[in-house]
Amino acid sequence: MANYNPRNFLILAVDDNSINRILLEKLLKKEGYKISILSTSEDVMPYLVKMTPDLILLDLMMPNINGLELCERIKLNPNFQEIPVIFITASDEKQDLLKAFDLGAVDYITKPFHNQELLARIKNHLELKFTRDELKKALVELEKLAKTDDLTGISNRRHFISLAEREFNLARRQKRSFSLLILDIDYFKKINDTYGHPVGDLVIQFVAQQCVLCIRKEDLCARWGGEEFIIFLSETNLEDAVLVANRIRTNIYNEIIDIDSYKISLTVSIGVSVYKSDDTSVSQAISRSDMALYQAKNSGRNRVVDQDGILYEDKG
């Protein structure tokens, strides 16, 4: 691990022997580690609720709750499972050591230990933990990137389709309802041609924000492509979906966007559809929203049109 710095790590040492505690504290502090020392097993779980060490040094033989039982308790808690546990033991009983590994310990060292050996083992397991943690963070970020539209930060088309298909199957099984909105920024090409693509990108971000503000947490807004957006409204009938669509349209219509020295007015057109019990795939509802959007565009823009071709054009 590049630039390994002991000061970045907190180690918890648990030992009922006062001399061992003093030796461990002196050694680890001298090396630069942050260190917490506990003398009893009973204090460990309450400590972990308040603090999360990067590594635990655990005496195997302790009164009341021995090291093996304590390790088992630690590893049974999902919040603590990833903390490496190294046993320090005077016992060379193989069964105890095998049991320790079975319970989730990563290593052991026998007493009396050699200082440099203990420090090397600690460093090795902290580097492994750091690498695992960084890999997990990278995987989370990759998963987020795979689901998210780079420009707007909302879901992308692929993620939307995946979730919409799942919700569609739930709706069919549980006889639930949902609605879909597809909206398009009116005259967006003119905005790009007049103000440039960087301003066009800011306009797309603004519309995405307005869409998110107008829906519930359980709903999903995604960038469908270019200047188009799609919204999944769970447990929503057509009438209520039209109300949401008009709220989005009205909010955008009433806003003036200040970008640099420009003041830009926008409108959007929106097509609305609702799940039908004879739909065999979510793509059918999407197609109805798309056709309704086409009608909204052709009827003058700044409109909401539902799947039955009913036009809502209040300029509100």
pLDDT tens-place string over residues 164-183: 999 999 999 998 999 999 99
Confidence class for position 1, pLDDT limits 50, 70, 90: low
- Same domain, residue pair 138 and 165: no
- Same domain, residue pair 137 and 161: no
The answer to whether 178 touches 274, Cβ cutoff 8 Å, is yes
Please state which of the ranges 90-99, 103-112, 150-159, 204-213 shows the lowest mean pLDDT. 90-99
Q: Give kind and range of the element (H or E) at residue 252.
A: helix 238-254
116-123: long-range pairs with CB below 8 Å, 24+: 118/27, 118/88, 119/27, 119/31, 121/86, 122/11, 122/28, 122/33, 122/55, 122/57, 122/86, 123/4, 123/6
Q: Residue 134 belongs to what domain range?
A: 6-143
Q: How many domains does the chain have?
A: 2
Say what the pLDDT of residue 209 is: 97
Final residue of a structural domain among 108, 143, 178: 143
What is the percent of the chain with per-residue pLDDT over 90, rounded to a whole number?
81
Q: What is the mean pLDDT of the chain?
A: 92
- Same domain, residue pair 75 and 19: yes
Residues with Cβ within 8 Å of 24's Cβ and at least 6 positions away in sequence, in order, are 13, 15, 35, 37, 57
Final residue of a structural domain among 99, 121, 143: 143
- Same domain, residue pair 163 and 139: no
Please state which of the ranges 88-92, 160-164, 224-228 shows the lowest mean pLDDT. 88-92
- Same domain, residue pair 87 and 183: no
Q: Average pLDDT, stretch 86-111? A: 86
Q: Average pLDDT, stretch 189-217? A: 96
Q: Which of 42, 72, 227, 239 does the annotation list as catalytic?
A: 227
Residues with Cβ within 8 Å of 103's Cβ and at least 6 positions away in sequence, in order, are 68, 71, 72, 75
- Same domain, residue pair 113 and 56: yes
Please state which of the ranges 28-42, 165-179, 226-240, 300-314 shows the lowest mean pLDDT. 300-314
> Domain for residue 152, yes or no?
no
For residue 70, the 8-state DSSP code is H
- Same domain, residue pair 302 and 162: yes
- Same domain, residue pair 129 and 62: yes
Catalytic residue flag (residue 227):
yes
Q: Average pLDDT, stretch 62-76? A: 92
**CATH number, residue 58:** 3.40.50.2300
Kindly report the backbone phi and psi dihedral angles of residue 148, in degrees, each rounded to the nearest multiple of 5, phi listed first: -115, 140
- Same domain, residue pair 175 and 302: yes
Confidence class for position 89, pLDDT limits 50, 70, 90: confident
> Domain for residue 128, yes or no?
yes
> Domain for residue 149, yes or no?
no
- Same domain, residue pair 186 and 280: yes
- Same domain, residue pair 279 and 207: yes
Q: Average pLDDT, stretch 243-260? A: 94
Say what the pLDDT of residue 313 is: 65
Say what the pLDDT of residue 235 is: 94
Q: Average pLDDT, stretch 35-57? A: 95
Higher pLDDT, 260 or 151: 151
Say what the pLDDT of residue 261 is: 87
Say what the pLDDT of residue 133 is: 86
Token pair 């957006």 is at which residue? 229
**CATH number, residue 256:** 3.30.70.270
> Domain for residue 305, yes or no?
yes
Final residue of a structural domain among 143, 176, 191: 143
- Same domain, residue pair 118 and 221: no
Cis amide leading into 53 (omega within 30): no
Say what the pLDDT of residue 141 is: 80
Say what the pLDDT of residue 311 is: 85
Say what the pLDDT of residue 144 is: 78
> Domain for residue 148, yes or no?
no
> Domain for residue 151, yes or no?
no
Say what the pLDDT of residue 26 is: 95
Give the alpha-carbon dihedral of 121, 125, 130, 132, to 10 degrees: 150
